[in-house]
């Protein structure tokens, strides 16, 4: 049953934080809300959790309607069967690990013996069984976040909600915890909504990603769909590095600014101008005069080169734009090159953003 959100609206006085957001999340599905700061991710999550009262729309959790303010229905947070993990671990310093995790159960009046067993089960699940008597100050950041995770799952919630839970951890720990959270969610088999502004987190953990901008959904899809087939410059840019160059329609086909005929794959452009979008790893560099199997060959000049180990990141001036390209060959700024781009790796985008 998962989660169903229909036409969610949230206003703070005159400010519309969420302007009509709709999505479904299946049981067992892991979905990220991805977008820049202030786009409404946290507000959406808190409306699902019941920590914030929605202004309009309907939210169901596990098939039960929990939020329909226009009908006077707002089920309180503690009756929504959710487990939530915050960025600031929000563990209580004066309580032991075991007391922290037991807290949601004591609020619900679960008898002590049953609660103790459930707490130990949750702590064992997150690998903290041996630290039950410690206080949070005696734990690392990663361990504190695991306490928060145990507290979120101890009441056997029907959905898990995460709000940037890894932002306060260092890079290495963050990668490890990504895997752990994902495996835990799989094992529990319940729906998860994961709020983040970190594209790597969203792409690596999610079954589907919902990209938000200014209180609205601008695109949703599998990580692969979003990365390979963005529908706007905003999404193309937000989910990864991308090169954009202007195209115009001439004599039934597309041409770049220098008049080169360009064959594109999928696209959503209407009208006579558009933007071609290509990922740096999908550009093949050739020394000028050499050629390859790609249907598109664009002449360019290397403007900048940064050696990064596995590859060099080049900036190439080409057809009225600068494109990034990853390549292992060794070229200096000023080198004349040809860029090979397969049509399947070239996406057509609208020249102007509808909402810009």
Ligand X SMILES: Nc1ncnc2c1ncn2[C@@H]1O[C@H](COP(=O)(O)OP(=O)(O)O)[C@@H](O)[C@H]1O
What separation in angstroms does the CA of 37 have from each of 28, 33, 40, 42, 212? 27, 12, 8, 9, 10
According to CB under 6 A, which residues from 108 to 147 bind ligand X?
Answer: none
Task: Answer yes or no whether residue 199 interacts with ligand X by CB under 6 A.
Answer: no
Give bridge partners of residue 255 from the DSSP assignment: 248, 261
Residue the block writes with tokens 């069984």: 129
CA 317 vs. chain centroid, Å, equals 31
- Residue 38 site contact among ligand X, Mg ion, none (CB < 5 to 8 Å, cut-off depends on kind): ligand X
**Distance of closest approach, residue 35 Cβ to ligand X, in angstroms:** 6
**Distance of closest approach, residue 11 Cβ to ligand X, in angstroms:** 9
- Residue 17 site contact among ligand X, Mg ion, none (CB < 5 to 8 Å, cut-off depends on kind): ligand X
Task: Answer yes or no whether residue 15 interacts with ligand X by CB under 6 A.
Answer: yes
Cα–Cα distance measured from residue 116 to residue 110, given in angstroms and rounded to the nearest whole number = 10
Phi, psi values for residue 340, rounded to 5°:
-100, 125
Phi, psi values for residue 253, rounded to 5°:
-145, 180
Cα–Cα distance measured from residue 338 to residue 298, given in angstroms and rounded to the nearest whole number = 5
According to CB under 6 A, which residues from 217 to 256 bind ligand X?
Answer: none
Give bridge partners of residue 84 from the DSSP assignment: 161
Task: Answer yes or no whether residue 87 interacts with Mg ion by CB under 5 A.
Answer: no
With respect to ligand X, which residue has the nearer C-beta, 14 or 334?
14
Q: DSSP letter at 30?
A: E
Instruction: Single out the residue of 9, 32, 42, 338 in contact with Mg ion (rule: CB under 5 A).
Output: 42
Q: DSSP letter at 181?
A: H
**Distance of closest approach, residue 84 Cβ to Mg ion, in angstroms:** 13
With respect to ligand X, which residue has the nearer C-beta, 124 or 167?
167
Pair 169, 141: CB distance under 8 Å = yes
- Residue 185 site contact among Mg ion, ligand X, none (CB < 5 to 8 Å, cut-off depends on kind): none
With respect to Mg ion, which residue has the nearer C-beta, 42 or 312?
42
Cα–Cα distance measured from residue 177 to residue 349, given in angstroms and rounded to the nearest whole number = 35
With respect to ligand X, which residue has the nearer C-beta, 34 or 97?
34
With respect to ligand X, which residue has the nearer C-beta, 18 or 105?
18
**Distance of closest approach, residue 171 Cβ to ligand X, in angstroms:** 21
According to CB under 6 A, which residues from 34 to 53 bind ligand X?
Answer: 35, 37-43
Say if strands 82-85 and 73-74 run parallel, antiparallel, or are unpaired.
unpaired
Task: Give buried/exposed letters for 158-177 (b at 16+ CB in 10 A, else e).
Answer: bbbbbbbbbebbeeeebeeb
Task: Answer yes or no whether residue 57 interacts with ligand X by CB under 6 A.
Answer: no
Task: With CB under 6 A as the rule, give the number of residues binding ligand X.
Answer: 11
- Residue 39 site contact among ligand X, Mg ion, none (CB < 5 to 8 Å, cut-off depends on kind): ligand X
Q: Which residues bind Mg ion (CB under 5 A)?
A: 42
Q: What are the residues binding ligand X (CB under 6 A)?
A: 12, 15, 17, 35, 37-43
């Amino acid at each position: 049953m998962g989660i169903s959100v229909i036409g969610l609206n949230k206003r703070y006085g005159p400010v519309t934080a969420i302007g009509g957001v709709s999505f479904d999340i299946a049981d067992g599905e892991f979905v990220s809300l991805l977008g820049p700061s202030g786009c409404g991710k946290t507000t959406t999550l808190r409306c699902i959790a019941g920590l914030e009262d929605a202004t309009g729309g309907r939210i169901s959790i596990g098939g039960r309607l929990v939020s329909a303010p226009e009908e006077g229905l707002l089920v309180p947070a503690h009756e929504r069967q959710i487990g939530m993990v915050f960025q600031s671990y929000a563990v209580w310093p004066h309580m032991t690990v075991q007391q922290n995790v037991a807290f949601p159960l004591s609020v619900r009046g679960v008898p002590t013996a049953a609660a103790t067993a459930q707490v130990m089960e949750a702590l064992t699940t997150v690998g903290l069984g041996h630290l039950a008597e410690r206080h949070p100050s005696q734990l690392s950041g990663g361990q504190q976040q695991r306490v928060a995770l145990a507290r979120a799952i101890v009441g056997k919630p029907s959905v898990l909600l995460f709000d940037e839970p890894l932002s306060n951890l260092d890079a290495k720990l963050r990668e490890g915890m990504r895997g752990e959270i994902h495996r835990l969610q799989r094992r529990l088999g319940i729906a998860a909504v994961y709020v983040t502004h970190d594209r790597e987190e969203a792409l690596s953990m999610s079954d589907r990603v919902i990209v938000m901008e200014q209180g609205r959904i601008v695109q949703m899809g599998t990580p692969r769909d979003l990365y390979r087939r963005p529908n706007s410059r905003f999404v193309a840019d937000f989910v990864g590095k991308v090169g954009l160059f202007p195209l115009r329609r001439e004599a039934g086909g597309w041409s770049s600014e220098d008049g080169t005929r360009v064959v594109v794959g999928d696209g959503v452009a209407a009208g006579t101008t558009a933007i071609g979008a290509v990922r740096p790893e999908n550009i093949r560099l050739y020394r000028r005069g050499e050629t390859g199997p790609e249907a598109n060959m664009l002449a360019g000049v290397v403007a900048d080169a940064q050696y990064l180990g596995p590859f060099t990141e080049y900036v190439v001036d080409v057809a009225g734009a600068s494109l990034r390209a990853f390549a292992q060959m060794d070229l200096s700024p000023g080198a004349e090159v040809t860029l090979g781009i397969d049509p399947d790796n070239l996406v057509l985008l609208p020249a102007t953003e509808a909402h810009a």
